[in-house]
């Protein structure tokens, strides 16, 4: 089954997982970007049914997800975990909806496009009803990497990530708040969402570690998905993923080795023209990308652009990135995919220009 477009000019839209951190951001993105919604249906687990969430000056009631939830739905955003997506996304497609899925359920499926609109929008043409939103870290890294790879040829990537609580969901964000309050008050706090103390601490990403190669699941996902997004299945990538006590917005220390010698000025010039990237690179003022400035807006901030002094060939550039995990790393990327599907256009407007969501 193929879906050249939606069935009506203003589609009926459903959000599965509407009460979660990404679900709430999806609602706000649809409103902020004036997506042409005819009817918005909010869906979640039975325990969340009956909650009311704001949209376009009114309030919408959350319904419990069931087999009839996708009747007359044209577009369904999924943000409720891979198990829910695996069960209900095919049912939504069978009912006639196009699914944009934020979970990991279909990311490794070669028949399901894995899409960042600024990076590989052409892959949308072959979708079969489901489009997958990549891992949030892979999105934030690939938006600046893709134009640089096209300009200079990319041979090797080394990155270390500094991942916020938002990547583990609303419960982890609340645990960071509560544990920080307890730490400052001198009270003991027992973590229940994450495996280690979070306040004033950092630790290796909490995904399961492969005991043979030493990489955790998050790192392996980032490697696989960056290769796929960039169309380079053999690209050499090394990743270390770390959870840091930041509420939202991931950061990445990134070193790229190119096929030719490259100057920092040439890199800045490419990134200054790249959609979805904002250069923040004030050496004199020591002002570079920070999570507090990345959150609540849609661009990936890129700065600290400099030669890697350990590479005398001049082919390696180091930089620092920050991007809002809940927006560009999840909800905004999903809505941008839907805009491409709906209009068939270029989606050329800047995310930051089109989006002003309070953090």
* Active site members: 136, 250
Question: Residues near 295 by Cβ (< 8 Å), separated by ≥ 6?
Answer: 247, 248, 249, 324, 327, 359
Q: Which two tokens stand for residue 273?
A: 């023209």
Q: Is residue 195 left, alpha or beta, with left meaning phi > 0 and alpha meaning psi from -120 to 50? A: alpha
Exposed/middle/buried for residue 127 (C-beta within 10 Å: 0-12, 13-18, 19+): buried
d(CA 337, CA 116): 7
CA 285 to chain centre: 29
- The helix (run of H) or strand (run of E) holding residue 28 is helix 21-32
Q: What is the dihedral of CA 79, 15, 173, 251, to 10 degrees?
A: 60
Query: Distance between CA atoms of 102 and 106, rounded to whole angstroms?
Result: 9
Structure tokens given for 280:
């923040």
């Amino acid at each position: 089954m193929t879906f050249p477009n939606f069935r009506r000019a203003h589609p009926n839209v459903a959000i599965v997982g509407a009460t979660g951190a990404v679900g709430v951001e999806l609602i706000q993105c649809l409103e902020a970007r004036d997506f042409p919604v005819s009817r918005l249906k909010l869906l979640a687990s039975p325990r969340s049914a009956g909650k009311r969430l704001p949209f376009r000056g009114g309030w919408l009631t959350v319904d419990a997800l069931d087999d009839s939830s996708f009747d007359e739905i044209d577009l369904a955003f999924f943000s409720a975990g891979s198990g829910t997506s695996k069960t209900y996304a095919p049912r939504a497609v069978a009912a006639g909806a196009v699914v944009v899925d934020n979970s990991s359920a279909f990311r490794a499926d070669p028949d399901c496009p894995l899409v960042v609109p600024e990076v590989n929008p052409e892959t949308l043409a072959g979708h079969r009803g489901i489009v997958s939103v990549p891992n949030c870290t892979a999105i934030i890294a690939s938006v600046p990497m893709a134009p640089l790879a096209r300009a200079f040829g990319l041979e090797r990537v080394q990155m270390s990530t500094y991942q916020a609580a938002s990547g583990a969901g609303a419960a982890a964000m609340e645990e960071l708040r509560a544990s920080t309050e307890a730490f400052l008050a001198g009270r003991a706090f027992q973590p229940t969402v994450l495996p280690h103390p979070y306040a004033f601490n950092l630790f290796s990403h909490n995904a399961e570690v492969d005991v043979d190669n030493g990489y955790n699941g998050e790192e392996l996902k980032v490697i696989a998905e960056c290769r796929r997004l960039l169309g380079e299945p053999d690209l050499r990538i090394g990743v270390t993923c770390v959870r840091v006590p930041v509420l939202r917005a991931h950061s990445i220390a990134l070193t790229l080795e190119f096929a030719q010698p490259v100057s920092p000025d040439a890199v800045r010039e490419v990134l200054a023209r790249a959609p979805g990237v904002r250069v923040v690179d004030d050496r004199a003022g020591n002002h570079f990308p920070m999570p507090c400035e990345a959150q609540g807006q849609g661009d990936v901030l890129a700065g600290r652009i400099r030669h890697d002094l350990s590479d005398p060939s001049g082919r390696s550039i180091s930089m620092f990135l920050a991007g809002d995990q809940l927006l560009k790393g999840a909800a905004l990327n999903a809505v941008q995919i839907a805009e491409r599907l709906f209009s068939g256009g270029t989606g050329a407007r800047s995310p930051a220009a089109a989006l002003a969501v309070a953090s």
